[in-house]
């Protein structure tokens, strides 16, 4: 699974809002300056997040965008799904599968379990968690070869 750049920008912008006064409304220009992401891209990201009810949009001279919920209740999964759609590592992990081997496949159920584990993990990570520093204590060490740790 690889998220696209727009999704990454969405998480960056949401994290920036959460790191500041998350109850405040911010303009697209402010968020572009703070995040150093081009204004047209920020505008597109904000519209997507607003359409998915992750951000609230207010029109007018005092308008802008703000979080619909507290950073501790917005999951990273919901932000990813706003841009990418349902989280599915492979076709049969989603309800809408086009795989011609689906009926006789012996890996469908294990893949669905793997997909659900990833989905649950992303759902358990909240926007507020993205603000914490020194998270290395909680990281799992991956062993990719003899004597090499990531």
Residue 3 in tokens: 């998220």
Q: What is the pLDDT of residues 46-101, one digit of tens each?
A: 999 999 999 999 998 888 999 999 999 999 999 999 999 988 877 666 655 566 66
- CB count, 10 Å around CB of 94? 15
Instruction: Print the domain residue range for 72.
Output: 5-132
Residue 35 in tokens: 């995040």
Could you give the C-alpha distances from 71 to 38, 68, 89, 91, 128, in angstroms and in order? 24, 9, 26, 31, 5
Q: What is the pLDDT of residues 15-50, one digit of tens each?
A: 999 999 888 999 999 999 999 999 999 999 999 999
Q: How many independent structural domains does the chain possess?
A: 1
Could you give the C-alpha distances from 73 to 26, 79, 117, 127, in angstroms and in order? 20, 12, 19, 7
Is pTM beyond 0.85? Reply is no
Q: What is the pLDDT of residues 100-141, one digit of tens each?
A: 666 677 777 787 888 888 999 999 999 999 988 665 656 555
- Residue 145 domain-assigned (yes or no): no
Alpha helices in 1-150 (DSSP H): 5-19, 28-35, 39-51, 76-84, 108-124
- Residue 26 domain-assigned (yes or no): yes
pLDDT value at 150 more than 50: no
Q: What is the CATH number of the domain that holds 110?
A: 1.10.10.10
């Amino acid at each position: 699974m690889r998220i696209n750049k727009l999704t990454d920008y969405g998480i960056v912008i949401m994290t920036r809002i959460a790191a500041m006064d998350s109850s405040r409304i911010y303009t697209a220009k402010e968020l572009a300056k703070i995040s150093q992401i081009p204004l047209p891209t920020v505008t597109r990201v904000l519209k997507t997040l607003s359409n998915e009810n992750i951000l609230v949009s207010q029109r007018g001279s005092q308008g802008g965008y703000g979080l619909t919920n507290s950073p501790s209740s917005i999951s990273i999964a919901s932000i990813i799904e706003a841009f990418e759609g349902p989280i599915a590592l492979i076709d049969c992990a989603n309800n809408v599968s086009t795989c011609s081997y689906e009926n006789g496949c012996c890996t469908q159920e294990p893949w669905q379990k793997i997909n659900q584990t990833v989905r649950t993990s992303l759902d358990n990570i909240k926007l507020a968690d993205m603000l914490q520093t020194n998270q290395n204590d909680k990281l799992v060490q991956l062993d990719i070869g003899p004597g090499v740790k990531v």
